């Protein structure tokens, strides 16, 4: 099996080209590939499949590292476009990528000196702000519970955005899964913790549903931008600084655009015997 390791601001994926639609990507295979000690390592697996309709060039079959099927991945879809364009599998500066959250159009915003795509921007579609929800979580010292408020946003997948005073003090590893599995969210939720140091800057940390804390998230950055603006904290153009780097969000009158790096790390041919053993374990 041939794979390519890619990332967008450290949000990393194992990408499998399957335009012949020949591969069965099981949950066991996904977990094995994403294993950072015995596999390739990644926040998820992307299988690039043939388009499912005339409106798209390819279909992005995305799975989180726990093997779960996911609606959408903003950084993943940007990396898919870069991969296709750099290999001549799509032409021009734009790719239409189908997903379980609809077709997303990705355009090239920068190339390196060799002409390879290095930065892309994806049209995430129209955000849906679904309200606010009060949640109870343990205080950082663990002695009592505190009530926090989350702004809920759908970017084709669910998000709960919580503004805090000190991002570094947030116990993301404890609060993240508590909120992800809170009864208020029937299908679980992604969780973002933010501070807003300036009207055009958001700092954030991300707990991704089915993955854990990640260095970046395209849909997460989108949700942060939407929530902060709706709370009157920012304008419509913001830089979202996450542990893995900076993504730029621009919320127009009708849609939200996310721009950032799309990096290919390496190509690899996986040994079939090794892979079978890894999955069996």
Whether 227 and 132 share a structural domain:
yes
User: Which CATH number is 51's domain given?
Assistant: 3.10.310.10
Do 168 and 180 have their domain in common? yes
The 3-state DSSP class for residue 205 equals strand
105 and 183 inside one domain? no
Could you write out the three-class secondary structure of 106-133? EEEEEECCCCCEEEEEEECCCCEEEEEE
Helix (H) or strand (E) holding 206: strand 201-208
d(CA 77, CA 46): 9
CA dihedral 211, 216, 217, 223 (to 10 degrees): 120
- Kindly state whether residues 208 and 273 are assigned to the same domain: no
Q: pLDDT tens digits, the chain, 281 residues: what are they?
A: 999 999 999 999 999 999 999 998 999 999 999 999 989 999 999 999 999 999 999 999 999 999 999 999 999 999 999 999 999 999 999 999 999 999 999 999 999 999 999 999 999 999 999 899 999 998 776 666 889 999 999 999 999 999 999 999 999 999 999 999 999 999 999 999 999 999 999 999 999 999 999 999 999 999 999 999 999 999 999 999 999 999 999 999 889 999 999 999 999 999 988 877 766 65
Provide the number of structural domains found in the chain. 2
Contacts (Cβ under 8 Å, ≥6 apart) of 266: 4, 5
Expressed as residue numbers, the domain containing 72 is 2-124+262-280
Are the beta carbons of 261 and 234 closer than 8 angstroms?
no
Quote the CA–CA distance of 123 and 115 in Å, as a whole number: 23
What region does 9 belong to: left with phi over 0, alpha with psi -120 to 50, or beta?
left
């Amino acid at each position: 099996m041939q794979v390519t390791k890619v990332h967008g601001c450290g949000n990393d994926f194992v990408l499998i080209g399957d335009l012949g639609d020949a591969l069965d990507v099981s949950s066991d295979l996904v977990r094995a590939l994403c294993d950072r000690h015995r596999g390739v390592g990644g926040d998820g697996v992307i299988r690039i499949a043939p388009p499912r309709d005339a409106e798209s060039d390819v279909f992005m079959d995305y799975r989180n590292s726990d093997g779960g099927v996911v609606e959408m991945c903003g950084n993943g879809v940007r990396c898919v476009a870069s991969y296709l364009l750099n290999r001549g599998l799509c032409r021009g500066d734009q790719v239409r990528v189908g997903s379980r959250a609809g077709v997303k159009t990705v355009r090239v915003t920068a190339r390196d000196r060799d002409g390879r795509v290095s930065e892309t921007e994806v049209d995430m579609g129209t955000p849906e702000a679904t309200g606010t929800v009060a949640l109870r979580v343990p205080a950082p010292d663990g002695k009592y519970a505190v009530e926090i408020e989350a702004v809920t946003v759908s970017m084709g997948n669910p998000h709960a955005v919580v503004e805090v005073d000190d991002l570094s003090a947030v116990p993301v590893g404890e609060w993240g899964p508590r909120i992800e599995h809170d009864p208020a969210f029937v299908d679980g939720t992604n969780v973002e913790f933010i501070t807003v140091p300036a009207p055009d800057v958001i700092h954030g940390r991300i707990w991704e549903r089915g993955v854990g804390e990640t260095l970046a998230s395209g849909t997460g950055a989108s949700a942060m931008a939407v929530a902060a603006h709706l709370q009157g904290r920012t304008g419509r153009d913001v830089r979202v600084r996450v542990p893995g780097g900076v993504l730029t969000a621009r919320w127009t009158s009708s849609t939200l655009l996310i721009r950032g790096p799309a990096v290919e790390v390496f190509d690899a041919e996986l040994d079939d015997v090794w892979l079978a053993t890894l999955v069996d374990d």
